[in-house]
Structure 1
Amino acid sequence: MFDIVPPSAIREGRATDAYFDRTLTTLTDADVDPHVVAEVTADQFPTGNFELFTGVEDAAELLSDRPIDVDALPEGQLFDGGPVMRIEGRYTEFARLETALLGFLSHASGIATNALHARRVAPDSQLLSFGARHVHPSMAAVVERGALVAGFDGFSHVAAGELLGKEASGTMPHALVLCFGAGEQEAAWTAFDSAVGEDVPRIALCDTFSDETDEVLRAAEAIDLDGVRIDTPSSRRGDFRHIAREVRWRLDADGFEDVDLFLSGGIEPTDLRALRDVADGFGVGGYVSNADPIDFALDIVEIDGEPIAKRGKLSGEKDVYRTEEGGHRVRPASDSGTGEPLLEPLIRDGEIVREFDIDEATERALADAERVGFGTGD
């Protein structure tokens, strides 16, 4: 058995904080169950720092089949303050779901936001998500979906690919080369070339035993390469940009101009900025998978039609809009906002009324990032 809360516990509301159980006990005992409007927000007002909304499909599955209505931003929408989701119904119908709901939205949106930072820094590079090894295995599909929504070209995790309907990418680890022994790199590369299907790119890992340039050229001579990957550990890396430039120079000089160069190993936006002109692609791991969750909270803002809120929160139902200038506007729902309204129906009387498509979410994220100028200061 693994330390994994099963889907049944999440769906049934048992993946909750204890005080919600006690709240329900108290409300039931007192025969109190108001009709409420509750909103999920990170910031009450725009701060100038946009974030990317994901996790909405899991949230919809959690909230469905209950007599409530839910509106939410579409997956791949950027936001800056105000509600990303609005729930209306009897409070007891969804009270125990708050813990899981915020977890679905907070973690996924943090991952996708960091992935979008990486994508915007290196818009013309091939980016692959390599970070599933840094998180609990049950989180792998969340990581890979967030990377895809942010515009990554692929990911490494096999089971996540099966769940998302996408094929995982990847060729060889250092372990493969090590298994053939020191000095036998050619044997490892040629064995790989013979064993794997024709649809698998021939990308050789070239920094296991000797100098990167030496191994790259040996690999290019040994098999018909699509590319090479350099994953030199930071303790031996030195000037990584100089290494990459030297590798590229030697490949071109020896007639291997068509062999692509991929870099991996602790890659962050600062590295992408410094290396994007000397490499064709990158494996990005911990920067995406280890992203801080977005600090979402769920708050009641209306009871039985009357605005109400705890101190520090804005009472009353609200809407959010994208202005023509690319701004984010938060207004009371009773006002007619200026701009494009962003909250859309998600659930009506317990039924999910929206379809989910990762490719459409990606298009939305990249277009909205351009519109709001996301990451222009990176």
Structure 2
Amino acid sequence: MTSLNEQDKFQSPFVTYNSVVTGATADNELSRSMTILRNEGINPIVVMEITSESTGVLCGVTEIQTWLRDWLFSLPKNSRGLWSVQEGSNINKGEVVARIVGPYASFGLYETAILGSLSSSSGWATAAKECVKAANDIPIVCMGARNIHPQVVGVMDYSARIGGCAATSTAVGSDLHGGTPSGTMPHSMILLFGDTLRAVLAFDKHMAADVPRVALVDTFRDEAQESVEIARSLKRKLRGIRLDTPKERGGVTPSMVFEIQSRLRNEGFDNVDIYVSGGLNPERIKEFVDSQAPVIGFGVGNYISSASPLSFTADIKAIQSDKVKFDNSNIDDVDQIIENFQPISKRGRLPGITENNKLVRLF
């Protein structure tokens, strides 16, 4: 048996949801198969491999490791194991990204959840990485929470951080990735105050001193005009301004950024940073980078949150053979005996264990 100390080495911010444990989120065919196999007394130790069907950034490993530890970790070490490519790694189409070994009944019901976590998380991480790459070291903040269901916001934010985002916008996301929520102020607050400067002064009055004073400047008047007015009022307390001009007005452009920087500098406010958000994607980000617009950070929402999931498949590739009797085995670790398992697969897939030197044993 594995010692408690080995279990304690793993720390995870994720939890195992009751809906996953009960199989409520599983495809019904898996629930039916578990009933049939249990009634027939069929429960061999199997090797299941998870393979990527596209290129991208792998994410979701920590979450599925959390689940699989709950389901498999109490078993003898010679009958269970998890290997995976590292979270945040670049993966290729056809690459085996994870290998699970254990009695099928201990985890087979959860195939749907495992693939779903990897698929969605990797899709978000991949989209984030595309934005980060386009930004060429300019920080990206993920602001996509409003574009997805609130139940998955935290995982999306976590995935964005794995993809390279410097920060995310929600507390639940920050709880998972360990960062600090990032944000400025919404248009709604400014509209309720009826004046951008009044809203900014209220922000300065009520927010703690360590909260950066970054003003949203496109609600009522010309962006450059509002920027200068706020800078005159807050002076050195103003950390920056955020441009979020809607597409109905042409959106934020590199030329707008240059103009605002010039007007601020003419007033002596060369300390004010400029942040850009609103409908950004890698192509638009690259426009600002290529023009060398003085942008200190980008806020990206829908491009990350609406990213298509990366597809993965899960296949049993080997099954415990009659030659291996775990109850009477003196072998301590499952990786010493899975080579004696019977290779198997469905048609179209290669039977047997697929080698990948990027796989690392997690337990």
Range of TM-score over shorter length? 0.7 to 0.9
Give the letter aligned to residue 197 of structure 1.
A
Give the 3-state SS of the residue equivalent to 1:210 in structure 2: coil
Aligned positions of 1:356-371 closer than 5 A: none
* Residue of structure 2 equivalent to 1:332: none
Q: Does 1:93 align with 2:102?
A: no
**Counterpart Cα distance in 2 of 1:252 and 1:306:** 72
Give the letter aligned to residue 16 of structure 1.
A
- Displacement of 1:291 in angstroms is 1.0
Q: Does 1:204 align with 2:215?
A: yes
* Residue of structure 1 equivalent to 2:164: 151
Give the 3-state SS of the residue equivalent to 2:215 in structure 1: strand
Give the 3-state SS of the residue equivalent to 1:39 in structure 2: strand
Q: C-alpha offsets along residues 101-146 of structure 1, whole Å, 9 cap, x if unaligned?
A: 1111111111011111111111221211101111111211111111
- Displacement of 1:15 in angstroms is 2.2
Give the letter aligned to residue 214 of structure 1.
Q
* Residue of structure 2 equivalent to 1:326: none
* Residue of structure 1 equivalent to 2:318: 302
Matched-pair contact (CA < 8 Å) for 1:114–1:287:
yes
Matched-pair contact (CA < 8 Å) for 1:82–1:319:
no
Structure 2 spans left out of the alignment, 5+ residues: 1-15, 321-340
Matched-pair contact (CA < 8 Å) for 1:202–1:225:
yes
**Counterpart Cα distance in 1 of 2:285 and 2:278:** 12
Give the letter aligned to residue 229 of structure 1.
R
Give the 3-state SS of the residue equivalent to 1:246 in structure 2: helix
* Ranges of 4+ aligned residues in structure 1 off by more than 6 Å: none
Give the 3-state SS of the residue equivalent to 1:121 in structure 2: helix
Q: Among residues 190, 212, 215, which one is paired with 2:201 in the alignment?
A: 190
* Residue of structure 1 equivalent to 2:145: 132
Aligned positions of 1:346-361 closer than 5 A: 346-347=362-363
Q: Among residues 285, 289, 300, which one is paired with 1:284 in the alignment?
A: 300
Q: Among residues 57, 60, 65, which one is paired with 1:55 in the alignment?
A: 60
**Counterpart Cα distance in 1 of 2:141 and 2:211:** 15
Q: Among residues 48, 69, 79, which one is paired with 2:81 in the alignment?
A: 69
Taking only the aligned residue pairs, the percentage that are identical comes to: 37
- Displacement of 1:220 in angstroms is 1.1
Matched-pair contact (CA < 8 Å) for 2:158–2:174:
no
Matched-pair contact (CA < 8 Å) for 2:174–2:181:
yes
**Counterpart Cα distance in 2 of 1:122 and 1:280:** 10
* Residue of structure 2 equivalent to 1:35: 45
- Displacement of 1:186 in angstroms is 1.8
**Counterpart Cα distance in 2 of 1:152 and 1:204:** 21
- Of residues 231-240 and 101-110 in structure 1, the stretch that sits farther from structure 2 once superposed is 231-240
- Displacement of 1:163 in angstroms is 4.0
Matched-pair contact (CA < 8 Å) for 1:171–1:200:
no
Matched-pair contact (CA < 8 Å) for 2:243–2:252:
no
Q: C-alpha offsets along residues 148-178 of structure 1, whole Å, 9 cap, x if unaligned?
A: 1222111110232234432211121111111
Matched-pair contact (CA < 8 Å) for 1:307–1:317:
yes
Give the letter aligned to residue 208 of structure 1.
T
Matched-pair contact (CA < 8 Å) for 1:82–1:318:
no
**Counterpart Cα distance in 2 of 1:32 and 1:189:** 66
Aligned length: 316
Q: Does 1:114 align with 2:127?
A: yes
Structure 1 spans left out of the alignment, 5+ residues: 1-5, 44-48, 321-340, 348-378
* Residue of structure 1 equivalent to 2:355: 319
Matched-pair contact (CA < 8 Å) for 1:202–1:227:
yes
**Counterpart Cα distance in 2 of 1:163 and 1:238:** 32
Aligned positions of 1:232-251 closer than 5 A: 232-237=245-250, 240-251=253-264
- Displacement of 1:239 in angstroms is 6.7
Matched-pair contact (CA < 8 Å) for 1:62–1:97:
no
**Counterpart Cα distance in 1 of 2:172 and 2:231:** 32
Q: Does 1:79 align with 2:91?
A: yes
- Displacement of 1:281 in angstroms is 0.8
**Counterpart Cα distance in 2 of 1:116 and 1:254:** 37
Give the letter aligned to residue 221 of structure 1.
R
Which structure has the bigger radius of gyration? Answer: 2
Give the 3-state SS of the residue equivalent to 2:64 in structure 1: helix
Q: C-alpha offsets along residues 303-352 of structure 1, whole Å, 9 cap, x if unaligned?
A: 231222112222210122xxxxxxxxxxxxxxxxxxxx2111123xxxxx
Q: Which has the higher helix share?
A: 2
Q: Among residues 210, 213, 217, which one is paired with 2:224 in the alignment?
A: 213
* Residue of structure 1 equivalent to 2:338: none
Q: Does 1:267 align with 2:280?
A: yes
- Of residues 75-84 and 234-243 in structure 1, the stretch that sits farther from structure 2 once superposed is 234-243
Matched-pair contact (CA < 8 Å) for 2:155–2:176:
no
CA RMSD of aligned residues (A): 1.8
Matched-pair contact (CA < 8 Å) for 1:302–1:317:
yes
* Residue of structure 1 equivalent to 2:323: none
